C-alpha cells in the first residue's frame, strides 16, 4: 500500500499583515482615545434625546444616589485660583505641593477640613474612603462657596482663553468660553437632593444648568 | 547576525569566504503579543463618546422687592411627580377652599409610555408641532435659511398658543423621572419649561392620589 503523503507545509505563518493591523489599531486607539478619569463615585445617568456635546469650560456638580454632592472644575488653572480663594476664605493652608496635586485631581466630595488630607491620599485610598460629600445645607453651605469661587476662576481663565483666541486671529464667540454649569445626577437619586443643589446655583443667580444624560434615539 | 571573523588570517588560503546564510525571517510572536496587549489596554481604557448634556433654564429667583402673585398663564399645564407616577392638571390651580368655575382642580394620571405623556403633549402642543412641520418643509425646499428657521421656531414656541409647562415634585420623586419628563417636553418642542416649588395644598392633593 502506498503511503498517504501529507502535504508538507511550514507550520509557521506569515504574521506581518496581522502585526500591521494590530499596530494600526493601537495607533488609532492611542490617538483617538481620551482617558476615562476615575471618579470617586459611580453615577448612572438618565437618558435623553439631546445630542449636545459637553462643552469645554465646565463646572460640574455630581449628585449620587444618596444625595451626596461632588464638585469638579475642568480647567487646571482655574482650579489653582479656586483653591487659593477657598483656602483664604476658610483659613486652611495648603502647601504648594498640595495645590499642584489639586489641579490635576478629578471630582471630590469632602469638607474643607478634610480636603488637605484627601489631597495627600493616593487614588486607591480615595476610592476606598467613604466621604460624606460637600455639605450644602443652609447652616454649612460649602458647595455655594465652591461654585461661587469656581465660577469666578473659570470666568477668568475663560477670558484669557478668549483673548488668546482673538490674538490668533480667529473670531471666537465669547459665550463659548464662559463657564457652563453641569449637573450629573444619578437615576435613583431623589429629586429633592438635586433640587437642593439646583437651589444653591439659583441662589447665586446661575439659572442656566445642564444635565448630563446618555444618548437615546429620538422617536420619529 | 553580526559576527566577528574568527581565527585570524588562517582561512585566507582555503577557498572563498562565504557569508553565513541566516534566515531573513524574524520571529514576530512577541511583537504580536505586545501589540495586542497594547490594543486591549487602549480599547478598555478609552472612552469615545463625550457625554451629552441637556440644558434647562430655571426661572430666576424672584426679587425681594417685587414679590407678586404668580403670573397667570394661558394654556398652561402642570405636571406633578411622585415616586414613579406622574399626574397633571391644566390651566389654573383651584384649591378645594376656593374652587374655580369648574370646581376644584382634579389631578389626572398619565404615564411615561408613548401613549401617555407623549400623546398628551403632542395633542396639547399641536400648534407648535404643526408650525414646525411647515417650517421643516420650507427648510427642505430651501425657501428659508437655517437661521431664519431657528428664529421662527423660537417665535412659535413663544407664541401665546403654545403650551407652557410647570413641573412640581414632591420629596419622593426621582431624578430619572424628572429628566424623562424634561426629555418628553423637549421632544414635544415645548419652549417654556419651569420647575417650580409645590404648594402645600397641591402636595395634599398629590398625596391623596398616590395612596
- Pick among B54, B185, B192 to test the A interface (most A CBs inside 10 A): B54
Total domains present in chain B? 2
Mean pLDDT lowest for which of A13-17, A80-84, B71-75? Answer: B71-75
Of residues B60, B171, B177, nearest to A192 (C-beta):
B171
Stretch 42-81 of chain A: residues touching chain B, C-beta under 8 Å: 45-55, 63
pLDDT value for B104: 75
Whether residue B188 sits in one domain with residue B116: yes
Q: Residue range B168-187: average pLDDT?
A: 87
Which residue segment(s) compose the domain that B172 sits in? 76-121+163-210
* CA dist list (Å): B45 to A34, A37, B33, B91: 9, 9, 18, 51
Chain A nearest CA to B16, separation (Å): 32
CB spacing of A212 vs B53 below 8 angstroms: yes
pLDDT band at B105 (very low <50, low <70, confident <90, very high): confident
More confident site: B168 or B159: B168
The three-point CA angle A200-A204-A206 to 5° equals 90
Show the domain range for A73. 47-215
Closest-CA distance, B121 to chain A, in angstroms, reads 14
DSSP β-bridge partners for residue A70 = A62
**Residue B171 is assigned to a structural domain of this protein:** yes
For the cut 50, the answer to whether the pLDDT of residue B13 exceeds it is no
Whether residue A120 is predicted with pLDDT greater than 50 in this model: the reply is yes
Q: For chain A, how many structural domains are there in total?
A: 1
B105 and B133 housed in the same domain? no
Residue pLDDT, tens place only, B121-143: 888 888 788 888 888 888 888 77
Residues 6+ positions from A107 with CB-CB distance below 8 Å: A39, A40, A41, A60, A62, A70, A71, A72
- Asked if residue A12 is part of any domain, the answer here is no
Regarding whether B115 and B130 lie in a shared domain, the answer is: no
Residue (of B125, B186, B149, B146) closest to A218 by Cα position: B186
Indicate if B82 and B143 belong to the same structural domain.
no
Q: Mark out the alpha helices in B17-125 (DSSP H runs).
A: 29-45, 119-124
Q: Residue A187 is nearest to which of B48, B51, B176, comparing CB atoms?
A: B176
On whether residue B23 sits in a domain, the answer given is no
A vs B: CB pairs below 8 A: 159
Cell numbers placing A160: 484669557
Q: What is the pLDDT of residue B67?
A: 52
A18 touches chain B (CB under 8 A): yes
Q: Pick the residue with more confidence: B74 or B128?
A: B128
pLDDT at B9 over 50: no
Query: Are residue B114 and residue B174 in the same domain, yes or no?
Result: yes
* Bridge partners of residue A190, in order along the sequence: B174
Considering only residues B68 and B81, tell me which one the structure prediction assigns the higher pLDDT.
Answer: B81
Per-range mean pLDDT, top range of A33-37, B99-103, B151-155: B151-155
Assigned domain for B177 exists: yes
Q: Compute the average pLDDT of residues A86-111.
A: 86
pLDDT for B11 = 45
Contact A49 B35 (CB under 8 A): no
Residue B88, SS3? strand
Is there a contact between B183 and A216 if contact means CB atoms under 8 Å apart? yes
Residue B76 confidence class, pLDDT cut points 50, 70, 90: confident
pLDDT, average across residues A12-37 = 80
CB contact under 8 A, A48 and B182: yes
Q: Which of residues 131-190 of A touch B (CB under 8 A)?
A: 182, 185-190
The 10s digit of each residue's pLDDT in B33-49 is 888 898 888 888 776 66
A29 within a domain of the structure (yes/no) = no
Question: Shortest Cα distance from A33 to chain B (angstroms)?
Answer: 5
Whether B83 and B172 have beta carbons less than 8 Å apart is answered as yes
Decide if B16 is inside a domain.
no
Q: Has residue B65 got a pLDDT over 60?
A: no
Which candidate, A56, A37, A49, A91, places its Cα nearest to that of A179?
A: A56
A153 part of a folded domain: yes
Q: Is residue B203 part of a domain?
A: yes
- Three-state secondary structure call for residue A113: coil
Q: Is the ipTM of this complex over 0.85?
A: no
Regarding whether B169 and B191 lie in a shared domain, the answer is yes
Amino acid at each position: 500500500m502506498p503511503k498517504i503523503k501529507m502535504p508538507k507545509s511550514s507550520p509557521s505563518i506569515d504574521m506581518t499583515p496581522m502585526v500591521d493591523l494590530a499596530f494600526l489599531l493601537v495607533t488609532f486607539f492611542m490617538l483617538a482615545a481620551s482617558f476615562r478619569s476615575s471618579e470617586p463615585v459611580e453615577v448612572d445617568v438618565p437618558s435623553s434625546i439631546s445630542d449636545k456635546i459637553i462643552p469645554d469650560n465646565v463646572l460640574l456638580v455630581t449628585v449620587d444616589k444618596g444625595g451626596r454632592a461632588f464638585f469638579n472644575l475642568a480647567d487646571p488653572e482655574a482650579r489653582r485660583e479656586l483653591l487659593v480663594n477657598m483656602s483664604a476664605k476658610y483659613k486652611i493652608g495648603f502647601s504648594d505641593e498640595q495645590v499642584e496635586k489639586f489641579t490635576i485631581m478629578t471630582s471630590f466630595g469632602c469638607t474643607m477640613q478634610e480636603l488637605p488630607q484627601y489631597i495627600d491620599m493616593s487614588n486607591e485610598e480615595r476610592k476606598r474612603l467613604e466621604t460624606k460629600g460637600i455639605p450644602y445645607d443652609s447652616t454649612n453651605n460649602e458647595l455655594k462657596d465652591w461654585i461661587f469661587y469656581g465660577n469666578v476662576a473659570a470666568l477668568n481663565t475663560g477670558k484669557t482663553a478668549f483673548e488668546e483666541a482673538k490674538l490668533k486671529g480667529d473670531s471666537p464667540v465669547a459665550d463659548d468660553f464662559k463657564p457652563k454649569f453641569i449637573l450629573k445626577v444619578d437615576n435613583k437619586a431623589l429629586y429633592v437632593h438635586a433640587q437642593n443643589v439646583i437651589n444653591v446655583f439659583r441662589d447665586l443667580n446661575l439659572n442656566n444648568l445642564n444635565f448630563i444624560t446618555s444618548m437615546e434615539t429620538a422617536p420619529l | 547576525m553580526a559576527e566577528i571573523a574568527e581565527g585570524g588570517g588562517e582561512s585566507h588560503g582555503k577557498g572563498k569566504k562565504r557569508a553565513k546564510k541566516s534566515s531573513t525571517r524574524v520571529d514576530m510572536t512577541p511583537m504580536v503579543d505586545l501589540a495586542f496587549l497594547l490594543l486591549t489596554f487602549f480599547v478598555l481604557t478609552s472612552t469615545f463618546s463625550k457625554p451629552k448634556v441637556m440644558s434647562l433654564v430655571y426661572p430666576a429667583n424672584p426679587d425681594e422687592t417685587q414679590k407678586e402673585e404668580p403670573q397667570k398663564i394661558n394654556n398652561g399645564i402642570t405636571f406633578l411627580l411622585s415616586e414613579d407616577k406622574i399626574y397633571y392638571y391644566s390651566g389654573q390651580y383651584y384649591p378645594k377652599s376656593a374652587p374655580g368655575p369648574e370646581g376644584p382642580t382634579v389631578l389626572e394620571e398619565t404615564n411615561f409610555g408613548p401613549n401617555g405623556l407623549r400623546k398628551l403633549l403632542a395633542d396639547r402642543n399641536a400648534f407648535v408641532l404643526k408650525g414646525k412641520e411647515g417650517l421643516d418643509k420650507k427648510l427642505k425646499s430651501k425657501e428659508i435659511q437655517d437661521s431664519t428657521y431657528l428664529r421662527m421656531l423660537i417665535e412659535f414656541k413663544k407664541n401665546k398658543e403654545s403650551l407652557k409647562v410647570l413641573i412640581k415634585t414632591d420629596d419622593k420623586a426621582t431624578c430619572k423621572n424628572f429628566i424623562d419628563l424634561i426629555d418628553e417636553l423637549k421632544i414635544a418642542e415645548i419652549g417654556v419649561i419651569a420647575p417650580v416649588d409645590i404648594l402645600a395644598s397641591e402636595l395634599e392633593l398629590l398625596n391623596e392620589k398616590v395612596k
